[in-house]
Copies of this chain bind each other. A is one copy, B any other.
Amino acid sequence: MQAAAAVHRPHLLAPSPLRGRTRRPSTVRMALREDGPSVAIVGATGAVGQEFLRVIAARDFPYRSLRLLASERSAGKRIAFEDREYTVEDLAAPGVFEGIDIALFSAGGGVSRTHARTAVASGAVVVDNSSAFRMDPEVPLVIPEVNPEAMANVRLGKGAIVANPNCSTIICLMAVTPLHRQAKVLRMVVSTYQAASGAGAAAMEELKLQTQEVLAGKAPTCNIFSQQYAFNIFSHNAPILENGYNEEEMKLVKETRKIWNDKDVRVTATCIRVPTMRAHGESVNLQFEKPLDEDTAREILRAAPGLTISDDRASNRFPTPLEVSDKDEVSVGRIRQDLSQEDNRGLDIFVCGDQIRKGAALNAVQIAEMLLK
């Protein structure tokens, strides 16, 4: 039995079955084995925590032992995973990180700030999905397909923190980095179409509930968001900073610079929530230093890891959040020369990626896999 059964996953939006790993043969059960690391999952009952389990199972990520941690409120819950049953433990209990090799954190910035250093002191490598340490100059911020070199000094058995970038950054840079390597991005204008899942499982539930209510002519329940989300869009609910950008937008600006190790790249972003469940869309306008025609761009994207191309002009089929839901790959399409820039120095693209999968859990597990090589 897999964790899938325990995951909150409205059937309405999960048309595709759990994808198996496609790049390695899956005939041998590799997951639970003596030579694997001991793994802890912090925030095991959340949307991303549950996805960690699905991804570990799907990729046969090896583990010697598994410890599921969450807040005191969730402690005692039982979660079935790969033929065993686990009891969720209180992450604040003393000694929970003893003997842990890899701790996958996804329980919010506050939990990471309070508990990640404890795990590190126990010798664990923490892969942190929160924003707590992303801009810490001592902490690598990693998308394995983009900047694996940032992990050079991280070793299993030597406590460390590695940060998982924000979902919007991961999905954007999966498609933009291969183009950047070819023609150098000078400036990037991003507008996002973000799903409910970024605000957690309860937000997905609220979108579903609100939609039922609105269709029934009732006032929508607004607990997670302060306004109607069903049949509506709104500026991302992250706090607005003094410069007028919200925190979600500034993550795209700052994380791109850090991941590319390029202080000069100019990024602006407008982040908007749309009533979709678990995958983000992003409209990306690019300005390049060197010319890059769209055919070359398409070839580069076709060869890039972790990407699929969905760019069928004749039948008007391009990436959608629904089609990338539950998929590992980020989908890119609407690849076209930007008419507003000269000499093939601009491109417009549209990308979609599963926010919970590659935007969070998969990327973190891929980071953990790099530690095993």
Contact = CB atoms under 8 A, between A and B. Distances in A.
A330 interface: no
A215 B226 contact: no
Contacts of A188: 340
Contact of A339 (B243, B318, B339, B346): B243
Given A231-B322, A253-B339, A274-B274, 6 more contacts: A12-B214, A189-B285, A215-B215, A227-B322, A235-B316, A272-B281
A60 interface: no
A234 interface: yes
A95 interface: no
A235 B333 contact: yes
Contacts of A25: none
A231 B337 contact: no
For the complex of A and B, list the 7 residue pairs with the smallest distance between their C-beta atoms, beginning with the closest: A244-B336, A191-B191, A266-B340, A191-B283, A240-B313, A268-B340, A235-B318
B233 A193 contact: yes
Interface of A: 11-13, 187-189, 191, 193, 207-208, 211-212, 214-215, 217, 226-228, 231-235, 237, 239-240, 243-246, 253, 266-268, 270, 272, 274-277, 281, 283, 285, 294, 313-318, 320-322, 333-341, 346, 348, 350
Given A231-B275, A337-B244, A268 B281 contact: no
Interface of A is mostly: mixed
Contacts of A211: 211, 215, 231
Contacts of A240: 313-314, 316
A313 B247 CA distance: 12
Contacts of A274: 193, 233, 274-275
A337 B243 CA distance: 8
Contact of A341 (B266, B334, B348, B350): B266
A321 B208 CA distance: 19
Contacts of A244: 294, 313, 334-337
- The quantity of this chain's copies bound in the complex is 2
B294 A283 contact: no
A195 to B, nearest CB: 9
Given A226-B316, A339-B245, A321 B233 contact: yes
B320 A234 contact: yes
Contacts of A337: 243-244
A338 B193 contact: no
Contacts of A340: 187-189, 266-268
Contacts of A268: 285, 338-341, 346, 348
Contact of A13 (B231, B253, B315, B335): B231
29 contacts: A189-B189, A189-B340, A226-B316, A227-B317, A227-B320, A232-B320, A233-B281, A234-B318, A235-B333, A235-B334, A237-B316, A239-B316, A240-B314, A240-B316, A243-B336, A243-B339, A244-B313, A244-B335, A246-B316, A253-B339, A266-B339, A266-B340, A270-B283, A270-B285, A270-B334, A270-B348, A272-B283, A274-B275, A275-B275
